[in-house]
Amino acid sequence: MTMELEVPNNAVVVRDAYKRYGRQTVVLRGLNMTVQKGTIYGFLGPSGCGKTTLLNCVVGRTTLDSGDIILSVNSKSDIGYMPQELALNKEFSIKETMNYYGMVYGMTKEELVKRKDEMYAFLDLPDENSTIEEISGGQQRRVSLSVALLHNPQLLILDEPTVGVDPLLSHSIWEHLLTLSTVYGKTIIITTHYIEDAKHAQRIGLMRGGTILAESEPKQLLSSYNCDSLEQVFLHLSQKQESRNQYENEIQDLKSYPKPLKKPLPPIKNHDYLSPIHIYSHIWKNIYWLKRNKPILTFLLMLPIVQCCLFVLSIGRDPLGLKLGIVNEELQNGFEVCHKFPNITCSLDYPMSCKFMDTLEKKQINLIEYRDQESARRGVEKNHVWGYLYFSSNYTEALFDRIISNLRTNEEALDKSELKIWMDMSNQYIGNLLRRDMYFGYLSFLENVYKTCNWPPEAATVPILYQEAVYGTNNPSFTNFAVPAVIQLSEFYLPMLFTVGALLMEKREGL
């Protein structure tokens, strides 16, 4: 086998090829095939016999489970492949399709223009501005064939090239292929259902059930099997194959199916995944696609703006109306008592707890009254409030004693003047927001007390003074902090969404 693989006159050599889908469906059963350089090799066989699977393995779209494939070409750019399915983007025009594949193949503008003119004249293609989806099925096949021939490859693999083509054009295609093989030395592999088409090939492989029944020149096949037509040859070989017990053969195939330690490598290695040519061609492909899908382009451009607006309107602002529990032993008759006192802050007759609660309400915090600390704690545990404050019975008197006496304040006054707070910190953002409002609210309340008592209000503040910020503001909003993160998320999410969508679409179309 090694000597035969190394024969320099062979363009494609396949030996002991096995391939199956799932566990039971064996498609290729030890297939052997030899294609000589500069010839047309015709694959003749019924649908489902494995022709397309074999060609996919030859061009590297899939790999064999076992076996060898040797090619005379060294690069995928030396192969022209026309698959059985259309495998063209139907939204592109013929001109855009030609330009894209010309860029993929690395052709210069002059080469591309020359080859395009030749393809239009040879295949009688429709107007170049017609989109693929607008033209007929036969015209689509002709465009697919023109793409395979565009870069003038050394090895041409055509899967059912004449399906849906009128007889006159089919004859013209065969004449052109014969010229390519005999004059220019191109190697061509063609699959077909039609016996008449196969007669044009210089060498024929009759395929059935995942194996090559016979391969030779058409005249030699006729003489070897003493038949008048290729139909009779194929019928004779098929009956011979069918004479064996098919059920026993399938069981034997499964039992003897090879299990190599390593899966065979593709016949041609992939090089330069990120080559400048491929990047450039894919950029233009995306430009063509976006030109045909302007609503999607508008959606991609507007989505980040809409997301930021919705974020600012719904999430970006600080929450208002947060509920906070109050246990105030200074007010025996509840919150309503606060409205009965004269608004004289610097007086022991006016409860300081009322003044501080008024400050909190101005910050749009909803205060919920509780009778005692036990009921307030249950309110926090049941998520009725985000925390609760406790004012002692002599809070106002103790607070003034603490301010006036300062270092001489006794322990009882220190304890009763403290504002005790229990918080639900399960939500860090809400908890810290309330702590901030209560802290700055208390400083504002204390400054107001000092002013009304004609004391220096600076003495009520923490001896730290924040000057104007170098960058930003001293009171940054959560919106300004979070919107850049939302934009960055969009910048990551949208390209990923677009890429995944494009890959799924191209996979569905067989591109």
The band of 159, judged by pLDDT with boundaries at 50, 70 and 90, is confident
pLDDT averaged over every residue in the chain: 83
Which residue has better confidence, 103 or 2? 103
426-465 tens-digit pLDDT: 988 889 889 989 999 999 998 888 888 888 888 888 888 7
Distance CA 353, CA 326 (A): 10
**Percent of the chain whose predicted confidence (pLDDT) is above 70:** 93
Closest listed residue to residue 155, CA positions, set 177, 172, 122: 177
Task: Provide the total of helices (H) and of strands (E) in the chain, helices listed first.
Answer: 18, 13
Question: How far are the Cα atoms of 16, 89, 108, 503 from residue 303, in angstroms, in the given order?
Answer: 54, 26, 38, 21
pLDDT given for residue 381 in this prediction: 94
SS3 track for 162-200 = CCCCCHHHHHHHHHHHHHHHHCCCCEEEEEECCHHHHCC
Average pLDDT over residues 211-224: 88
Distance CA 56, CA 54 (A): 5
Range in 56-65, 173-182, 218-227, 500-509 the model is least confident about:
500-509
pLDDT over 70 (residue 511): no
pLDDT given for residue 372 in this prediction: 92
329-340 tens-digit pLDDT: 988 888 888 877
Q: Are the C-beta atoms of 27 and 21 separated by less than 8 Å? A: yes
358-368 tens-digit pLDDT: 999 988 999 99
pLDDT given for residue 487 in this prediction: 79
Closest listed residue to residue 318, CA positions, set 387, 365, 386: 365
The band of 257, judged by pLDDT with boundaries at 50, 70 and 90, is confident
Range in 24-33, 65-74, 251-260, 329-338 the model is least confident about:
251-260
Q: Three-class SS of residue 476?
A: coil
Average pLDDT over residues 128-153: 88
pLDDT given for residue 285 in this prediction: 87
**Percent of the chain whose predicted confidence (pLDDT) is above 90:** 15
pLDDT over 60 (residue 248): no
| Partners of residue 211 on adjacent β-strands | 208
Average pLDDT over residues 157-176: 79
Question: How far are the Cα atoms of 24, 189, 204 from residue 209, in angstroms, in the given order?
Answer: 14, 19, 16
Interhelix angle for 109-123 vs 94-104, to 10°?
Answer: 130
Range in 106-115, 186-195, 245-254, 413-422 the model is least confident about:
245-254
Average pLDDT over residues 84-88: 81
The band of 29, judged by pLDDT with boundaries at 50, 70 and 90, is confident
Average pLDDT over residues 391-405: 89
- 337: how many CB neighbours lie within 10 A of its CB? 14
Distance CA 468, CA 447 (A): 21
Q: In the chain, what are the domains?
A: 10-267 (3.40.50.300), 323-461 (3.40.1710)
pLDDT over 50 (residue 118): yes
The band of 373, judged by pLDDT with boundaries at 50, 70 and 90, is very high
340-361 tens-digit pLDDT: 776 666 777 788 888 899 999 9
pLDDT over 90 (residue 47): no
DSSP state of 318: P
Average pLDDT over residues 303-314: 79
- The region that residue 148 occupies, defined by phi over 0 for left and psi between -120 and 50 for alpha, beta otherwise, is alpha
Distance CA 448, CA 486 (A): 40
pLDDT over 50 (residue 1): no
pLDDT given for residue 344 in this prediction: 63
